Amino acid sequence: MASSDPEKLMAKADKITKLSFTRWNADWKNAAVLYEQAAIAYRLAKQNEKAKIAFEKASKGQEMLSSPWDAARFMESAAAMAKELGSWNEVADFYRRASELYIECGRSQPASDALAKGARALEESMPEEAARLYVSACEILEEDEKEQMAFDLYRAAASVYIKLEKYEDAAATLLRLGLAADKSNAKNSQCKAYLSAIIVYLYTHDFKQAEKCYNDCLQTDAFMDSDQFRLASKLLSAYREGDIEEIKRVAQSSTISNLEHVIIRLARKLPTGELNAIRAEVAGEDGDELDEDNLV
C-alpha cells in the first residue's frame, strides 16, 4: 500500500515543503503528519538512521506550526534513535534542543527530564557532557523553584564527576545539592550532602578545604543537630591527631553506610595520604601566636 511506504511518505512530505515557482507556501501541516508516519514505519522496520532523520523533520514541521510541545516530543524520539545508533554528539544535541522546546512551552519538568535522559545515555561514552547535562537539568528546576525535584540529578552529576576524578567539581556539586535541600527543608538530604562533600575533600587529602567546608556547614542549624555533623567532627579530629585506626573505624559507621555508594567507596579508602603533614600543619597553626608572644 503506497501510503504506508516510508520512502514515498518522505518524498511526498519533502515535496510539499519545498518552495517553487508553482508552490509559494510550504504545507507544513500535512508534511508533519507524513514525516511522523514515515518515522514510525522506519522505526518498526529498525531502520534507525532513517527514523532519526524523519523524526527530526517531524519536529521541524511542528516548530513551523508553532507547536513546540509536539516538536519537543519528536526531537526526543530523534534522540532515542541517535542513541540506538551510538551517535553520541547527536544524542546530546537533540536532547538539548528538546529541552529548549519544552522551555518554550513553559514546562520546566519535561525540559529537565529531557536533559536527564541525555545525561544517562551519555554517562559511559561522554561522561563530561553527561555531567553538564545533569547540572543544566538541575538549574532548570531551580529556576522554577522546584529544587526538591533536583536532588537525584545532583547526586548523579557528583557521581559522574567522581568517576572522572574531578573531585573539586564533585564536592561543589554536593554543596549545591545541600543548598537546594536547605531551600526545600529536606534536612536529611542536606546533611548527607555536606558530609559527602567533606569526605570527598578528605579523599583528595585536602584537609584544609575539608575543614573549611565543615566550618561553613556549621552555619546551618540542621547540620549542627545531625548524626552527619557528629561523624564529621570525629573524622576531622582523627585526622588532626593522625589516628589512622580511628579514621578507619569512623569510616565504617552506619552513618557513612547511608550515603551514596560512590561516597561510601571513597570513605572506606580513608586515609589516602600521609597524615604527618596534616599534624604538622595543625600544630603550626596552633603554635603561631604562642611563638610570636615568646619572642620577648
Q: Is residue 169 part of a domain?
A: no
Cα 148 from Cα 190, distance rounded (Å): 11
- Same-domain status, 100 and 191: no
Residue pair 109/127 in contact by the 8 Å Cβ criterion:
no
User: Under DSSP, is residue 296 helix (H, G, I), strand (E, B) or coil?
Assistant: coil
User: Under DSSP, is residue 126 helix (H, G, I), strand (E, B) or coil?
Assistant: coil
- Same-domain status, 14 and 91: yes
Q: Is residue 175 part of a domain?
A: no
- Same-domain status, 83 and 8: yes
- Same-domain status, 7 and 80: yes
Q: Which of 89, 123, 144 is a domain's end point?
A: 144
How many domains does the chain fold into? 2
Percent share of the chain, pLDDT over 90: 87
Q: What is the pLDDT of residues 179-218, one digit of tens each?
A: 999 999 999 999 999 999 999 999 999 999 999 999 999 9
DSSP result, 24-36:
-S--HHHHHHHHH
Q: Which of 120, 144, 168 is a domain's end point?
A: 144
- Same-domain status, 103 and 240: no
Q: What is the pLDDT of residues 208-263, one digit of tens each?
A: 999 999 999 999 999 999 999 999 999 999 999 999 999 999 999 999 999 999 99
Q: Which CATH number characterizes residue 130's domain?
A: 1.25.40.10
- Same-domain status, 1 and 128: yes
- Same-domain status, 105 and 1: yes
Structural domain for 68, as ranges:
1-144
pLDDT of residue 167: 98
